[in-house]
């Protein structure tokens, strides 16, 4: 059984017991435990089930590389699936549950897949569920989805908050082990701004477990001294629980800080994303131990040798009374020695090498531990936990020499440097034959904005695995001069590049040798992929799903690559690695979103009257980031009913529209007229001061991009109105041309959109309403149609434009934003007697459609010319040049067959479906019915008492009176007649009074 020893555990505080639950069982641990160490201390070895075969699994590792011990944490609004028990800090009240099992972890029905394993090899799903094709969507996929997946996604809104922060440093040290601390000290002493981040809650990495001395002090003492030294330096920032997720272009580093994972609900943000700009990144990210592939290497109780050591030294947890060590290197002997020193039995060390004469094997022998060289594990016995191992010759085919009873197996296949941060931005790797590992190729580092190297690996991450080399390397990596710390540790003999044991294992054994534990990829699957032609490492990965689980291949991708290289009879470097991509370990979506949720999800732009609209029960329409009232339904009224009422209010009385969102850009300077003549398709320079003119803006292709009314404020000043969504875009467009194409023109622009609250007062009684408030002459003589004037209304300074988008008598009042709400209120109050109501964009759309006025974005889609809109009158024939003039001359844009604007009226008076297409005879090359036009806007017109629509139809204006057919989604045909788009007050008498 796994249990807590009476003594030991450098990270736990036995004076601070904690209670937690796992699958409902109440268990106890200590402050400083991980969930995994606490579960092991309670003899809960079984922590999960594998993804595909539902095999029982215990932890194989003690850190971020753990593939098996994934659990659900928390409940409801704090539920999170797929959390690694090995990196989850224990806290009082923690509630964890196992996943991917039914009905229980101990008794899982899905394990039937395991019995079927030989019928479920790599590529099984690809090969099996291809035909008949409809079955995939309706049968195979739903069934597979039901049985696949690990933990369930949380359903409730996340109760926690998250945030981000930007930081800048000269040197960012990723990893706070002995290499990271050494590098940080060297960098900090040079005066650089240094940040040191470590993913763990404690500093020092794994060196305190492995032992040795630095500068004559035990490693742990040295670590504490180094930390103290760093903490006193003002140019150093230290953050623990902060995982460097990725290194991106130009030294952009993302790191996730776990602030309150271990103290949920304490009022702090749960996590914080650090967005760091680092001049240089020192990746002191250490190395990860690799498993060995032998039959039954996934049985609970088989762990990495380093993990066994960690559980023992860090948390005082015994993996069992008897642990067999299996290794291809000297380092694993540290585990044997540690176990023996803790009073536990090590029945044997099975060393695949022919010789084991290094300092550590000799120490082990001196402690009386039996060391067997040239030996391997033929098979692990036990199902839900290890009961023993069968020993064979490494050089043979697995003939069993001996059974050794034991409760745990500690395996070591050597170490792989954590080169992720080096590789994220293109750093190349080289294969180190002696260490049987990929390590950074110093000749090909990732480079930054200046073209100089921006990442350097330090210590074990650079392949310097021994303590002495590690700190020396880290010191040099940080540019330290002289005085590197001196590390002392036993001398180790080289490892043997053993990946599979025994060497000649038959297929039955290879089919029980796990490589990717979570995704159930075995040695036999990789060999199958190679036989079937998936010889590229990237293809073999996707075919077998090797390295595609939540640990992203940290544990054993290298083993998989080595097996593939052997199957292909190529060297490991020729096979190469798959791509290392950020994040290093999974990052919560909440962290990436930061504060951008709820009201802060996106900026909501508010007009000065926004709150008034809200109080009036406005139904909103999003327009860009603005919210505009679509309609103001009265109690019991639908949006459609309100819209009809508002339309009639404009036609029969007067109504107010909040037009503040219209873009307002002032253009001033001696060359302003010349500039606007280039920007608009029609002439603007001839506009008289005091007058307004409607204009179209085109892009160079000749297509309409915006429209609006231009008012000439003075000889050298124009105010350009843009569409509501278009102000920022058009302002940027103006600046682009001014800065880049005509920089010598004397023109200045300013975006004044938000300086004004703009109120459109429209309807036959509009003038009467303004006169009620009084303050300026708004008579037809003083302020004629398409004129503007400045003055006061109701004591508020205004500029009044006589322009109309409704076809009615209309005034647009621009008041300073800080006084616009006051003016609006005054107008509403004064209008009470006249029946004045507010109206929304819904009514506006109907009103303008009755008049045949277009909306850029409805009638246009980026491929529509002024001529298509029957607005050739707005295209100057006299100007030598304007943006879009040359584009309009292209043959396709002058083709008489182009679709052009018309009105459409259904024969039965109904409303045409939005976006409906008019069909033509015949089919196109794809066998689809030909079309000859489409609906661009469609409404019920209360004024006319019928459905009206605008549309673009081939040669439309030449075909007035023709009836077109519009199929609906249901299959029915709606017939509509082509009519003049102007359905109301064709001569414009109502707006010009």
Partner 1 sequence: MLTLTCPYCGVTAEETELTPGGQAHLTRFGPGSSDAEFEGYLFARTNPKGVHFERWRHAYGCGKWFHAARCTATLEVFGTYPAQAVAPPDDLIAHIKARRPGWEGWT
Partner 2 sequence: MSDPVTALNGARAQGYVTVTEAPPIGMITLRCRGDVGPALAGLNLPLPGQRRIETGAGGGVAWMSPDEWLILIPRDRVGAVLAGLAGALQDVPHLAVDVSDARAVLWLEGDKVREVIAKAAPVDMAPGVFEPGEVRRTRAGQIAVAFWMVDARTVELVCFRSVARYAFDLFATLSQPGAEVGLFD
Q: Is 713 exposed, middle or buried (0-12, 13-18, 19+ CB in 10 A)?
A: middle
| 889 is a site residue for partner 1 (CB under 8 A) | yes
Q: Locate 553 and state its tokens.
A: 């291949």
Residue 152 has a CB neighbour count (10 Å cut-off) of 12
CA-CA distances (angstroms) from residue 278 to 182, 273, 455, 919? 18, 15, 10, 60
851 binds partner 2 (CB under 8 A): no
Of residues 647 through 676, those in contact with partner 2 by CB under 8 A are 666, 668-670
Assess 443 for contact with partner 1 (CB under 8 A): no
250 part of the interface to partner 1, by CB under 8 A: yes
Are the C-beta atoms of residues 3 and 41 closer than 8 Å to each other? yes
Q: Encoding tokens for residue 489? A: 């540790």
Instruction: Kindly indicate which of the ranges 120-128, 249-257, 617-625, 979-987 contains the residues binding partner 1, using the contact rule CB under 8 A.
Output: 249-257
Work out whether the CA dihedral 306, 309, 313, 319 comes out positive or negative.
positive
Q: Does 272 bind partner 2 (CB under 8 A)?
A: yes
Q: Identify the H or E element spanning 391.
A: strand 388-393
Q: Are 271 and 444 in contact (CB under 8 A)?
A: no
Of residues 263 and 579, the one with the C-beta less far from partner 2: 263
Asked if 670 contacts 746 with a C-beta cutoff of 8 angstroms, the reply is yes
Tokens of 839: 């109206």
Query: Which residue reads 């606007």 in tokens?
Result: 676
User: Which residue's CB is nearer to partner 1, number 24 or number 743?
Assistant: 743
Stretch that binds partner 1, among 243-251, 350-358, 464-472, 548-556 (CB under 8 A): 243-251
Q: What is d(CA 109, CA 130) in angstroms, rounded to the nearest whole number?
A: 26
Binds partner 1 (CB under 8 A): choice among 158, 170, 735, 754:
735
- Residue 818 engages partner 2 in binding (rule: CB under 8 A): yes
Residue 887 sits in the site that holds partner 1 (CB under 8 A): yes
Nearest 5°: the CA angle 540, 544, 547 is: 85
Residue 367 within binding range of partner 2, rule CB under 8 A:
no
Q: Where are the alpha helices (DSSP H) in 717-854?
A: 727-736, 766-773, 817-831, 841-851
When CB distances are held under 5 to 8 angstroms depending on the partner's kind, the choice from partner 2, partner 1, none that residue 450 binds is partner 1
Q: Quick one: 447 or 503, whose CB is closer to partner 1?
A: 447
Binding residue (CB under 8 A) for partner 2 from 753, 804, 810, 938: 753
Nearest alpha carbon to residue 285 among 117, 165, 455, 142:
455
Tell me the C-alpha distance between 277 and 169, whole Å.
Answer: 6
Peptide bond between residue 583 and the one before it cis (omega within 30 degrees of 0): yes
Binding of partner 2 by 808 (CB under 8 A): no
Strand-pair partners of 666:
719, 750
**581 contributes a contact to partner 1 by CB under 8 A:** no
How many residues in the chain? 993
606: contact with partner 2 by CB under 8 A: yes
Other beta carbons within 10 angstroms of residue 222's beta carbon come to 24
Residue from 886, 929, 930, 975 in contact with partner 1 (CB under 8 A): 886
Residue 819 is a binding residue for partner 2 (CB under 8 A): yes
Assess 668 for contact with partner 1 (CB under 8 A).
Answer: no
Contacts of 662 (CB under 8 A, 6+ apart): 708, 721, 722, 723, 724, 727, 753, 758
- Does residue 190 belong to the site contacting partner 2 (CB under 8 A)? no
Minimum distance of partner 2 from residue 166's CB (angstroms): 5
Residues 715-734 that bind partner 1 (CB under 8 A): 732
The rounded distance, in Å, linking the Cα atoms of 792 and 249 is 56
Q: HSE of 116 in the Cβ direction (CA atoms, 13 Å)? A: 12
Residue window 678-717: x/- pattern of binding to partner 1, with contact defined by CB under 8 A: ----------------------xx----------------
Q: What is Dmax (Cα atoms) for the chain?
A: 114
Omega before 164 within 30 of 0, i.e. cis: no
CA distance 13 to 31: 5
Name the segment binding partner 2 (CB under 8 A); options: 114-122, 527-535, 603-611, 783-791: 603-611
Q: Among partner 2, partner 1, none, what binds residue 272 when CB lies within 5 to 8 Å by partner kind?
A: partner 2
Site string for partner 2, 142-171 (x = CB under 8 A): -------------------x-xxxxxx---
Least CB distance from residue 576 to partner 1, whole Å?
A: 20
Q: Which does 795 bind (CB under 5 to 8 A by kind): partner 2, partner 1, none?
A: partner 2
| Partner from partner 2, partner 1, none binding residue 777, C-beta < 5-8 Å depending on class | none
Span interacting with partner 1, options 246-254, 396-404, 482-490, 535-543, rule CB under 8 A: 246-254
428, 597, 606, 885: residue in contact with partner 1 (rule CB under 8 A): 885
Residue 422 vs residues 136, 249, 282, 695: alpha-carbon distances, Å: 41, 12, 9, 55
740 binds, among partner 2, partner 1, none (CB under 5 to 8 A by kind): partner 1
Strand partners, 663: 722
Q: Which is nearer to partner 1, 742 or 785 (CB)?
A: 742
Q: How far is the CB of 599 from partner 2 (least distance, A)?
A: 6
Cα-based distances in Å from 343 to 211, 318, 770, 826: 18, 10, 96, 89
Residue 275 lies near partner 2 (rule: CB under 8 A): yes
Q: Does 746 bind partner 2 (CB under 8 A)?
A: yes
Task: Give yes or no for residue 248 binding partner 1 (CB under 8 A).
Answer: yes
Work out what residue 68 binds among partner 2, partner 1, none; the CB cut-off runs from 5 to 8 Å by kind.
none
Binding segment toward partner 1, per CB under 8 A, in 328-336, 472-480, 593-601, 878-886: 878-886
Among residue numbers 87 through 126, which ones bind partner 2 (CB under 8 A)? none
Q: How far is the CB of 450 from partner 1 (least distance, A)?
A: 7
User: Distances in Å between the alpha carbon of 110 and those of 69, 83, 103, 914?
Assistant: 17, 21, 9, 50
CA distances from 74 to 92, 98, 341, 358, 805 (A): 12, 12, 38, 47, 57
- Minimum CB distance to partner 1 smaller for 247 or for 659: 247
Place of tokens 């009201």: 599
Closest C-alpha among 198, 194, 197, 175 to residue 186: 194
Asked if residue 880 binds partner 1 (CB under 8 A), the reply is: yes
Helical H runs in 737-840? 766-773, 817-831
- Among 481, 595, 700, 958, which residue sits at the site for partner 2 (rule: CB under 8 A)? 595
CB nearer to partner 1: pick between 248 and 531: 248
With CB under 8 A, what is the number of residues at the site for partner 2?
54
Q: Does 607 bind partner 2 (CB under 8 A)?
A: yes
CB 681, min distance to partner 1, A: 13
Q: How far is the CB of 880 from partner 1 (least distance, A)?
A: 7
CB atoms within 10 A of CB 910: 14
Residues contacting residue 224 through CB under 8 Å, at least 6 positions apart:
none
Does residue 736 touch partner 1 according to CB under 8 A?
yes
The smaller minimum CB distance to partner 1, of residues 538 and 889, is found at 889
Given phi > 0 = left and psi -120 to 50 = alpha, else beta, which region is 73?
Answer: beta
Instruction: Specify the residue, 195 or 696, whose C-beta has the smaller distance to partner 2.
Output: 195
Position 267 contacts partner 2 (CB under 8 A): yes
Give min distance, CB of 174 to partner 2, in A: 18
- Please give the residue ranges that form the binding site for partner 1 (CB under 8 A): 248-250, 252, 277, 426, 447-451, 700-701, 732, 735-736, 739-741, 743, 880-881, 885-887, 889-890
- Please give the residue ranges that form the binding site for partner 2 (CB under 8 A): 161, 163-168, 193, 237, 266-269, 272, 275, 277, 595-596, 599-600, 602-608, 625-626, 666, 668-670, 746, 748-756, 792, 795-797, 816-819, 821-823
């Amino acid at each position: 059984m796994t249990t807590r020893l009476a003594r030991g555990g450098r990270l736990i505080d036995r004076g601070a017991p904690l209670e937690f639950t796992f699958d409902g069982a109440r268990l106890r641990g200590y402050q400083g435990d991980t969930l995994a160490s606490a579960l092991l201390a309670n003899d809960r070895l079984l922590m999960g089930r594998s993804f595909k075969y539902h095999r029982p699994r215990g932890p194989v590792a003690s850190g971020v590389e753990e593939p098996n011990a994934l659990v659900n944490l928390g409940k409801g609004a704090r539920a999170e699936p797929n959390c690694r028990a090995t990196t989850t800090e224990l806290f009082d009240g923690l509630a964890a549950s196992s996943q991917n099992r039914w009905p229980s972890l101990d008794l899982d029905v899905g394990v039937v897949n395991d019995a079927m394993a030989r019928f479920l090899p790599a590529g099984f799903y690809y090969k099996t569920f291809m035909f008949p094709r409809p079955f995939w969507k309706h049968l195979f996929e739903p069934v597979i989805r039901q049985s696949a997946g690990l933990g369930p996604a949380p359903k409730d809104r996340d109760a926690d908050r998250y945030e981000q922060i930007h930081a800048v440093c000269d040197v960012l040290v990723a990893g706070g082990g002995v290499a990271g601390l050494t590098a940080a000290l060297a960098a900090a002493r040079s005066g650089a701004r240094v940040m040191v981040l470590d993913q763990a809650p404690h500093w020092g990495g794994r060196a305190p477990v492995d032992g040795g001395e630095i500068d004559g002090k035990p490693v742990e003492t040295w670590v504490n001294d180094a930390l103290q030294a760093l903490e006193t330096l003002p140019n150093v920032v230290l953050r623990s629980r902060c995982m460097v997720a990725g290194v991106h272009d130009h030294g952009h580093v993302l790191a996730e800080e776990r602030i309150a994972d271990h103290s949920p609900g304490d009022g702090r943000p749960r996590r914080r994303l650090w967005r760091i700009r680092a001049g240089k990144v020192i990746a002191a990210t250490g190395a990860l131990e690799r498993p060995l592939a032998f039959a039954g290497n996934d049985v609970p109780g088989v762990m990495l040798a380093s993990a066994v050591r960690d559980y023992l030294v860090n948390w005082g947890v015994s993996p069992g009374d008897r642990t067999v060590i299996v290794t291809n290197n000297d380092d694993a002997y540290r585990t044997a020695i540690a176990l023996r020193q803790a009073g536990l039995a090590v029945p044997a060390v099975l060393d695949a090498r022919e010789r084991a004469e290094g300092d550590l094997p000799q120490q082990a022998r001196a402690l009386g531990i039996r060391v067997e060289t040239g030996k391997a594990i033929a098979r692990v016995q036990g199902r839900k936990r290890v009961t023993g191992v069968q020993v064979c010759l490494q050089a043979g085919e697995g003939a069993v020499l001996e059974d050794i009873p034991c409760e745990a197996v500690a395996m070591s296949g050597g170490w792989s440097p954590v080169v992720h941060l080096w590789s994220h931005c293109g750093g190349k790797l080289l294969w180190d034959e002696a260490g049987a590992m990929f390590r950074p190729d110093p000749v090909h580092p990732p480079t930054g904005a200046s073209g100089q190297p921006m990442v350097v690996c330090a210590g074990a991450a650079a392949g310097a695995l021994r303590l002495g080399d590690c700190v020396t390397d880290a010191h040099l990596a940080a540019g330290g001069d002289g005085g590197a710390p001196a590390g002392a540790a036993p001398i180790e003999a080289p490892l043997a590049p053993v990946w599979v044991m025994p060497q000649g294992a038959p297929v039955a054994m290879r089919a029980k040798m796990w490589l990717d534990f979570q995704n159930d990829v075995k040695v036999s699957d990789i060999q199958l992929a190679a036989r079937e032609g998936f010889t590229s490492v990237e293809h073999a990965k996707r075919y077998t799903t090797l390295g595609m689980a939540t640990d992203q291949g940290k544990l054993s991708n290298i083993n998989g690559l080595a097996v593939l290289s052997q199957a292909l009879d190529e060297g490991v470097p020729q096979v190469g690695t798959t791509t290392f991509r950020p994040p290093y370990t999974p990052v919560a979506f909440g962290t990436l979103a930061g504060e951008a949720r709820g009201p802060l999800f996106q900026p909501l732009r508010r007009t000065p009257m926004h709150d008034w609209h809200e109080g009036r029960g406005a139904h909103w329409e999003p327009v860009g980031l603005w919210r505009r009232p679509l309609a103001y339904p009265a109690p019991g009224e639908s949006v459609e009913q309100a819209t009809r009422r508002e339309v009639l209010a404009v036609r029969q009385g007067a109504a107010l529209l909040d037009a503040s969102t219209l873009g307002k850009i002032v253009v001033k300077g001696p060359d302003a007229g010349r500039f606007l003549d280039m920007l608009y398709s029609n002439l603007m320079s001839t506009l008289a001061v005091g007058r307004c003119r409607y204009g179209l803006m085109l892009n160079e292709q000749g297509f309409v991009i915006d429209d609006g009314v231009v008012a000439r404020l003075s000889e050298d000043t124009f105010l350009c109105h843009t569409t509501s969504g278009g102000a920022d875009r058009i302002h940027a467009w103006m600046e682009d041309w001014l800065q880049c194409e005509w920089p010598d023109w004397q023109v200045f622009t300013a975006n004044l959109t938000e300086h004004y609250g703009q109120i459109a007062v429209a309807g036959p009684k509009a003038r009467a309403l303004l006169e009620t408030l009084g303050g300026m002459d708004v008579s037809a003589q003083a302020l004629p149609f398409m004129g503007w004037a400045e003055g006061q209304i109701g004591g508020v300074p205004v500029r009044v434009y006589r322009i109309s988008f409704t076809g009615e008598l209309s005034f647009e009042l621009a008041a300073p934003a800080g006084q616009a709400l006051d003016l609006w209120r005054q107008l509403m109050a004064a209008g009470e007697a006249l029946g004045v109501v507010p109206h929304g964009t819904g009514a506006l759309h109907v009103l303008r459609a009755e008049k045949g006025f277009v909306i850029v974005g409805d009638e246009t889609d980026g491929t529509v010319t002024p001529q298509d809109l029957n607005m050739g009158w707005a295209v100057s024939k006299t100007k030598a040049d304007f943006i879009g003039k040359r584009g309009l001359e292209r043959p396709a844009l002058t083709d008489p067959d182009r679709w052009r604007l018309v009105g459409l009226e259904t024969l039965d008076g109904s409303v045409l479906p939005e976006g409906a297409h008019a069909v033509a005879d015949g089919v196109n090359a794809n066998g689809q019915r030909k079309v000859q036009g489409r609906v661009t806007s469609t409404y019920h017109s209360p004024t006319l008492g019928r459905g009206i629509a605008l549309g673009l139809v081939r040669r439309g204006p030449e075909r007035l009176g023709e009836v077109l057919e519009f199929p609906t989604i249901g299959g029915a045909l709606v017939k509509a007649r082509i009519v003049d788009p102007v359905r109301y007050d064709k001569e414009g008498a109502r707006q010009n009074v």
